[in-house]
Amino acid sequence: MVLLSASAASITPPPHRRTANYRPSIWDDDYIQSLPIGFEEESHLRRREELKERVRQLILKQKDAVEQLELVDALLRLGVQYHFELEIECVLNSMSSSITNTSNMSEDINLHCSALLFRLLREHGTDSSNLLGSNPIFSSLNAMIVSFKGRIQHDVKELLSLHEASFLAVEGEDELEEAGEMAAEQLRRLRKNTSLDPKLAEHIDHALELPLHWRMTRLHTRWYIDFYEKQENADSGLLELAKLDFNMVQSAYKMELKEISRWWRNLGLASEELSFARDRLVEAYFWSVGCSYEPHFWRCRKEIAKIGCLLSTIDDIYDVYGSLEELELFTRAVDCLDLSKAYLLEARWYYSGYTPTLNEYIENGWMTIAGPLLSACAYCLSEDLTMEALNNLRFYPDVVRQSSLIARLYDDLGTSNDEILRGDVAKSIQCHMKHKNVSEKAAREHIRWLIRKHWKTMNEGLIANQQLLGSFKSHVINFPRMAQFIYQYGDGHGKPEVETRVQVISLIVEPIPL
């Protein structure tokens, strides 16, 4: 595949430009093609339908408010909520009505229940007017938060629920954020108790490591299935459904990965001639699973993975291989791509020795993470796309900007100084260090603060745009979650280490024992 003209190809990159090869893929194609599928037999389909009906009756069974909400929460965490969307909506609407009508407010509505309902409504996008304090549901939560601040002893459930709910806050909901921080501090103190129940300690550790709202959903599901099985009150039918459904969806992932692997090898870009580029087929597919994990998003998952493979190669042409003159020519050849223009600007900064301000970097960086391009693809690949929706496509809505920006900052936190020294353009951390004359530690803290700030802005954008198309909405909210995981321990895409490999195996390769 000829990317550059003959005259451009003769240009030798300057000696200071990074030209070291990336480590090749850790996933062998023969290994991928040999993965056993399983869990696609008629008997598995029949058993899943039986279990779905059993769980449906469990949802409809009369129970108190706390039990109802905890069941809905378990359905979401176990990854089977897409089978029961109507039932979940009915439960949440019923709970909203019971609290809104204060004369019928149930006595079992406590802080745990109120915070849990708040989080579930925000996640579900049930009502765009549900800003804290604007209706009785959240006025009730506000009142309970005031009471919470005045107490010394707290129930662990309410601490966990309040901590998780606080990450769904938007700008201006300071009381909720402050209460969430207090809850987290109380949980840290409780964790120091050596006599704490091991299951409770595990739950606290998991919550404090990362809030649920920021986690890669499918990996949390894999963890929660094991955690739920240890609970004394675990429902056996729900647990079996979660395990069986996880394995059946995993089988679909394997078939998709095999198909994409054949496409990638036949394309021929993963060759010695392009040894400077990352061969990251499995990681690209892993990204797409993390962003659109539900079975009916299969078309979006496959195409986004293919685009991800191509983008890794294009990114490395700009970051690793091309001289500035070559990159100018290449960008002109693909002038229709905003992403290429953003890549070129970074290359110009690099070759001129210019370190942009943090704002300059961010204005360009939210494009170079490829979030806008991938989100647009997810929009066009939505299973519920109509001609009207296609005509109304606007590049780029603010939620896309926020999603991409958060992902970019997560990526930068995972970039090491070694990568900068080898030739990467200065990232947000280095830009802030230089222009504000602060330490790397202080710069990293500032980036983490920015991440929390932009999550709040995106929360508000999602509340205001509840009618977003299926796979597009899934991609927008899950793209930064996926970035958080990939870059949590370093560059898990460019240099996938043990953590990435283990999680790929647990999510795509190894079924859960039934």
DSSP-assigned letters across all residues of 15-54:
TTS--PPPP--SS-HHHHHT----S-SHHHHHHHHHHHHH
Closest CA to 384 of 467, 272, 292, 311: 467
Q: Quick one: which H or E segment has residue 200?
A: helix 198-209
pLDDT of residue 501: 87
CATH 1.50.10.130 placement within the chain: 42-240
CA atoms within 13 A on the CB side of 247: 20
End-to-end Cα separation, the chain, in angstroms: 47
Helices (H), 80-173: 85-100, 111-124, 136-149, 156-165
Rounded Cα distance between 356 and 425, Å, is: 10
pLDDT of residue 5: 35
Provide block-wise average pLDDT over 10 residues at a time, the chain (514 residues): 35 45 74 90 93 96 89 97 95 80 56 92 68 60 80 85 95 91 94 89 96 96 97 96 97 96 88 74 94 93 94 86 89 84 93 94 96 91 74 76 97 75 79 96 97 96 82 92 89 69 93 94
Rounded Cα distance between 183 and 187, Å, is: 6
pLDDT of residue 250: 97
Tokens of 29: 């194609």
Other Cβ atoms less than 10 A from the Cβ of 139: the count is 15
C-alpha dist (Å) from residue 229 to 165, 197, 357 = 24, 16, 50
CATH class of the domain whose range is 268-509? mainly alpha
Quickly list DSSP for 153-194: ---HHHHHHHHHHGGG--TT-HHHHHHHHHHHHHHHHHHT-T
C-beta contacts of 341-350 below 8 A and 24+ residues apart: 342/367, 342/368, 343/314, 343/315, 343/318, 343/319, 343/368, 344/318, 346/318, 346/319, 346/425, 347/318, 347/319, 347/322, 347/425, 348/324, 349/425, 349/426, 350/423, 350/425
pLDDT of residue 244: 97
Rounded Cα distance between 326 and 328, Å, is: 5
Domain 42-240 in CATH 1.50.10.130? The answer is yes
Closest CA to 225 of 216, 234, 215: 234
CATH 1.10.600.10 placement within the chain: 268-509
C-alpha dist (Å) from residue 167 to 119, 163, 213, 459 = 9, 7, 7, 9
For 381-390, letters b (16+ CB in 10 Å) and e give bbeebeeebe
pLDDT of residue 4: 38
Query: By 3-state DSSP, what share of the chain in percent is helix, strand and coil, each rounded to 5?
Result: 70, 0, 30
For 469-493, letters b (16+ CB in 10 Å) and e give bbbbbbbbbbbbbbbbbbbbebbbb
CA angle 190-193-194, nearest 5°? 150
Rounded Cα distance between 369 and 381, Å, is: 20
